[in-house]
Amino acid sequence: MLVSCALLAAPIATLALEGEGVNVGKNSVFTQLVPAETVERSAGQQYALMLQQADTKRALGPADNAQVKRLRRIAQRLIPFAIPWNERAKQWQWEVNLIGSTQINAFCMPGGKIAFYNGILKTLQLTDDEVAMVMGHEIAHALREHARERMGKNAATGIGASVITQLFGLGQLGQTVTNYGAQLLTLEFSRSDESEADLVGMELAARAGFDPRAGITLWQKMAAASQVAPPQWLSTHPAGSTRIADIEANLPKVMPLYLRAKK
């Protein structure tokens, strides 16, 4: 389901006043080694295949499902605030879908392809604010182009320095990106990527009127769930007291945005 562009075009007053919100710097230079269009096209193909497979197994949430409606409603509030973080987001064909699986998992692929698994909603009993924190985090990965950065680093390493000057002509790089495209659902991000996504996601949620303090309760729930069996969503996500402390330390930067959005 494509999220309506008309709904995403709602006015955003005083979106980015000087000095407000978090500061995570510019996107990595490694993103420039891989064309954004190539990554987004590959992501779209992988996402469509995943939905097709889920539908075949009767595991794709229908449009009238209450949780699907809830996820899409939250996404429609978050997405307009994504544009200042990445100009390409204006062109993305955003999609939000629910997969019937017990996995505690969620993601947003390049190009705005969002998926939640039933497991993360039911097992953790997420509130709307907590869902917004998860979704904001995953959207942030797409906005910060972490998958594209990872592909760029892998391509540079695999091809070798002698061909770096030929990258923008694709050639060998094009094949490398194609090979990595099939791994978009399993790409692992670095700890710094995860920290960036936490901060940017928290700001997106706050600007959209979701309580950023929900990040604390979210990670408390994640920590409790991981004591039984580590959720897939935590496979590369640093958790625990350090993560909660980082959220608490940055709350003063985003709470004013939340309070203004709630007026």
Catalytic residues: 138
Q: Which residues pair with 109 in a beta bridge?
A: 113
Contact 246, 198 (CB under 8 A): yes
Label residue 185 exposed, middle or buried (CB < 10 Å: 0-12, 13-18, 19+). Answer: middle
Using alpha carbons, list the distances in angstroms from residue 180 to 46, 152, 154.
11, 10, 9
Strand ranges inside the chain, DSSP E: 95-99, 106-109, 113-117
Residue 40 is classified by DSSP as H
Give residues with Cβ within 8 angstroms of 238, minimum separation 6. Answer: 191, 194, 195
137: closest CA among 25, 233, 19?
233
**Distance between CA atoms of 126 and 230, rounded to whole angstroms?**
17
HEC per residue, 203-218 = HHHHHCCCCCCHHHHH
